[in-house]
Amino acid sequence: MKRTLYWLNKDLRINDNAALNLASKSEHLLCVYIVDKQCFEANNFQSKPLGDIRWQFLQGCLDDFNESLSKLGQELYIVYGDTLSTLTRLCENYQITDVITTKFPGTYENRLITQLNERLPELNINQVDQFTLFTKNALPFELEQLPVSYSKFRKKMAEVSISKPVPSVQSLPSMFDTLPAPTRFKPEWLPSVSAVKAKQGFEFEGGEQQGLTHLRQYFSSNSPAEYQQVRNNLDGWKNSSKLSPWLNSGCISVRQVMNYLTDFEQQQGKNSSTECLYLELLWREYYQWVHGKVGVKTYQFKGLAKHKPLTTFYPERFNKWCLGNTPYPLVNAFMHELRQTGYLSNRGRQIVASCLVNELSVDWRYGAAWFEEQLIDYDAAVNWGNWQYIAGVGVDPRGGRHFNIEKQTTLYDPNGDYQAKWSDQSQQSIQANQALDSVDASDWPVLE
Ligand SMILES: Cc1cc2nc3c(=O)[nH]c(=O)nc-3n(C[C@H](O)[C@H](O)[C@H](O)COP(=O)(O)OP(=O)(O)OC[C@H]3O[C@@H](n4cnc5c(N)ncnc54)[C@H](O)[C@@H]3O)c2cc1C
C-alpha cells in the first residue's frame, strides 16, 4: 500500500501545484508542514532566519491552506521541531513509502533530502520541479554552463516557452486511520502573533486566496501598463506588483503570474512596462539558478569573486543601520519602514544595502541576514544574490553598486515626504555632521 507524506514548504497552495496533484494519486496521504525551532534562533550574523512579521504572514498562509485542504477532505499536520528528525520520525511511525515535496534550488532543502535518503534508503522521494518559471530540464544548457551574466541568460531563455499552470486537484485521499488528530499544540518558543501589527504601511495578508485576489486585482488594473515609469518610486501600493510575499511563500506560483501577464498583454497590448515586469520575474529566475549552481558560495564573504571585499564587522555601525540611526535620513526612513512593515521598495533595498557596504564598510552578509529576518518576502536566492550584486561579489560583471544617497534623495524624495512618513520621533537621530562611531576599532572611546 502506498502511504505518502507530502512535505509542504514554499508551495502552500491548491492551484498550480503539481506536487499536490501527484500526492492526490496515492492511497493514503499525510500533508505535513514543519516549523523548525532553528528559524527563531539567532544565526552567526546576529539575526534570526524568521522574524515576527514573516511569521505572522506565514501563519495566515498555513490557516488558509488548511481551510482549502479541509474542503478536499484533508488536513494540514503542522509539526514543531527539527526538520530532519521530524521527517524521519513521521516516516518511521507511519510506515511512509513515498515522500513528495517541491524541489527548490537552495542548498538547505537539498541537503535535507540527501540526509533523509541516507537515513531511510527504502523511501521513495519525489521532488517536483515547480518553484521556478522553467524546470531544470527545460534550461537550454547544463546548470554548470549557466551564463555568468543576466543579459546572456535572458538571451538564452528568449526562445524557451513557459509552461501553463497545471489543473487543480478535485479530491484528495484520506489520512491514515492510525493517525492522531493534527496537533494544535504550540511550543513556548513560538513568538506571539498578536503582538505584531504595523502602524502604517501596506497590508499583506498571508494565504492563497488573498494572493490570488491580489493577483487578479493587479492585472485587472492598468498598473502593469505603467510599471516601468513608477517601479522605482519609494512609496505607493501600485508602484510595483507587491506580489513577492505570496510568490515566495508559494501561495501563488510564478507560472500563474506569467499567465496573468500574458493574458494582460493579449488584451491590453504589450509595452515596455509589461516587458519590464517580465524581466524582473526573470531576474528572480536567474538568481534561483545561480543559487542552484554555486550552492554555499551564495552565503560566503567572497561570494563568486576572486578576492574578499575590504569590509569588516563594526557592531556599532551595524546596530545603527538596523535601527535606522545613521547619519543618512533617507536610509533611516527606509530602515524604519522595513522594521515596522517587513516590506521595502526595490530602490530602498538597493540604497540601504549600498550604504551598509560602501558608507559604513560593514560585511555585506550581516545586512543580508538582517533582511532575512525582517523581510516579509524573503527568498534565499534572491536576497543573498542581490546583496552579493551590490557588494561586488555576485553575478554582476561590473563589480558592485554604489548609490549616491544625496542624489537618490533629490531624485526620489525631493520634498522629504517619504522621510517625514517614516521618521522615528522617539529616536534621537544622529546628525550628518556627528561622528558615526563612539568607539574606535579597538573599542576605545572616540574623543572629541
Ligand atoms: C538587497 C536586496 C535584497 C532583496 N531581497 C529580496 C528577497 O528576499 N525576496 C524578494 O522577493 N526580492 C528581493 N529583492 C528584490 C526586489 O526588491 C523585490 O523582489 C521587490 O521589491 C518586491 O516587490 P514587488 O513584488 O512589488 O516587485 P515588482 O517590482 O513588482 O517585481 C515583480 C517580481 O519580480 C521579482 N523581482 C523584482 N525585482 C527583483 C530583483 N531585483 N531581483 C530578483 N527578483 C526581482 C520579484 O519576484 C517580484 O515580486 C531584493 C533586492 C535587493 C536590492
Instruction: Kindly report which listed range (43-47, 199-203, 409-413) carries the lowest average pLDDT score.
Output: 199-203
pLDDT at 351 over 50: yes
Ligand 1 pocket mutation, candidates 377, 393, 396, criterion most atoms within 8 A of CB: 377
Q: Is 50 exceeded by the pLDDT of residue 375?
A: yes
Q: Picking from 67-71, 155-159, 250-254, 422-426, which range would have the lowest pLDDT averaged per residue?
A: 422-426
Which atom of ligand 1 approaches the CA of 378 most closely? 8
For atom 12 of ligand 1, the residue with the nearest CA is: 382
Return the higher-pLDDT residue of 125 and 44. Answer: 125
Superfamily grouping for domain 3-131: HUPs (3.40.50.620)
Q: Which residue has the least CA distance to atom 36 on ligand 1?
A: 280
Helix (H, G, I), strand (E, B) or coil at 322: helix
ipTM, two decimals = 0.99
Establish whether residue 317 lines the binding site of ligand 1, counting it when its CB lies within 6 angstroms of any ligand atom.
no
Cell of 38: 532553528
- Section 251-259 average pLDDT: 98
pLDDT exceeds 90 at position 205: yes
Task: In whole angstroms, give the CA distance from residue 377 to residue 5.
Answer: 27
Cβ neighbour number for residue 164 with a 10 Å cutoff: 12
Q: Ligand 1: does its nearest atom lie under 6 Å from the Cβ of 378?
A: yes
Report, as an integer, the average pLDDT of 380-393: 97
Q: pLDDT at position 185, please?
A: 73
Q: Does the structure show a pLDDT above 80 at 425?
A: no
Angle, helices 254-268 vs 272-294, to 10°: value is 160
Amino acid, res. 417: D
How far apart CA 46 and CA 305 sit, in angstroms, is 24
Look at residue 32 and tell me whether its pLDDT is greater than 90. yes
Q: Distance, CA 287 to ligand 1 centroid (Å)?
A: 11
Residue 417 has pLDDT above 90, yes or no: yes
Assign 129 a pLDDT band (cuts: 50, 70, 90): very high
Cβ(386) to ligand 1 under 6 A?
yes
- Å from CA of 72 to ligand 1 middle: 33
pLDDT of 432 above 50: no
Kindly give the distance from the C-alpha atom of residue 26 to the centroid of ligand 1, in angstroms, as a whole number. 37
Q: Is 368 in the pocket of ligand 1 (CB under 6 A)?
A: no
Tell how far the Cα of 377 is from the centroid of ligand 1, in angstroms.
8
Q: Is 292's pLDDT higher than 70?
A: yes
- Give the per-residue SS3 of the chain: CCEEEEEECCCCCCCCCHHHHHHCCCCEEEEEEEECHHHHCCCCCCCCCCCHHHHHHHHHHHHHHHHHHHHCCCCEEEEECCHHHHHHHHHHHCCCCEEEEECCCCHHHHHHHHHHHHHCCCCEEEEECCCCCCCHHHCCCCHHHCCCCHHHHHHHHCCCCCCCCCCCCCCCCCCCCCCCCCCCCCCCCCCCHHHCCCCCCCCCCCCHHHHHHHHHHHHHCCHHHHHHHHCCCCCCHHHCCCCHHHHHHCCCCHHHHHHHHHHHHHHHCCCHHHHHHHHHHHHHHHHHHHHHHHHHHHHCCCCCCCCCCCCECCHHHHHHHHHCCCCCHHHHHHHHHHHHHCCCCHHHHHHHHHHHHHHCCECHHHHHHHHHHHCCCCCHHHHHHHHHHHHCCCCCCCCCCCCCHHHHHHHHCCCCHHHHHCCCCCCCCCCCCCCCCCECCCCCECCC
Task: Tell me if 347 CB under 6 Å of ligand 1.
Answer: no
pLDDT higher than 70, residue 332: yes
Q: Are strands 76-80 and 98-102 parallel, antiparallel or unpaired?
A: unpaired
Q: Which CATH class is domain 132-163+208-294?
A: mainly alpha
Measured between its terminal Cα atoms, the distance across the chain in Å is 77
The pLDDT-based confidence of 433 (bands split at 50, 70, 90) is very low
pLDDT band of 424, cuts 50, 70, 90: confident
Q: Which of 284, 287, 351 to mutate to test the pocket of ligand 1 (most atoms within 8 A of CB)?
A: 284
Q: Name the residue at shortest CA distance from atom 5 of ligand 1.
A: 383
DSSP per-residue letters across 27-51:
SEEEEEEEE-GGGGS--TTS--SS-
CA distance 247 to 34: 19
Nearest residue by C-alpha to atom 37 in ligand 1: 280
> Separation of 346 CA from ligand 1 center, angstroms?
6
Q: What is the pLDDT of residue 184?
A: 62
Does the CB atom of residue 248 touch ligand 1 within 6 A? yes
Query: What residue has cell string 543559487?
Result: 291
The CATH number of the structural domain formed by 315-421 is 1.10.579.10
Q: Ligand 1: distance of its center to the CA of 394 in Å? A: 16
pLDDT above 90 covers what percent of the chain?
82
Q: Where are the domains of the chain?
A: 3-131, 132-163+208-294, 315-421
Residues in the chain: 448
pLDDT of residue 191: 81
Compute, in angstroms, the gap from residue 41 CA to the centroid of ligand 1.
Answer: 25
Cβ of 202 below 6 Å from ligand 1: no
Ligand 1 centroid – CA 109 distance (Å):
21
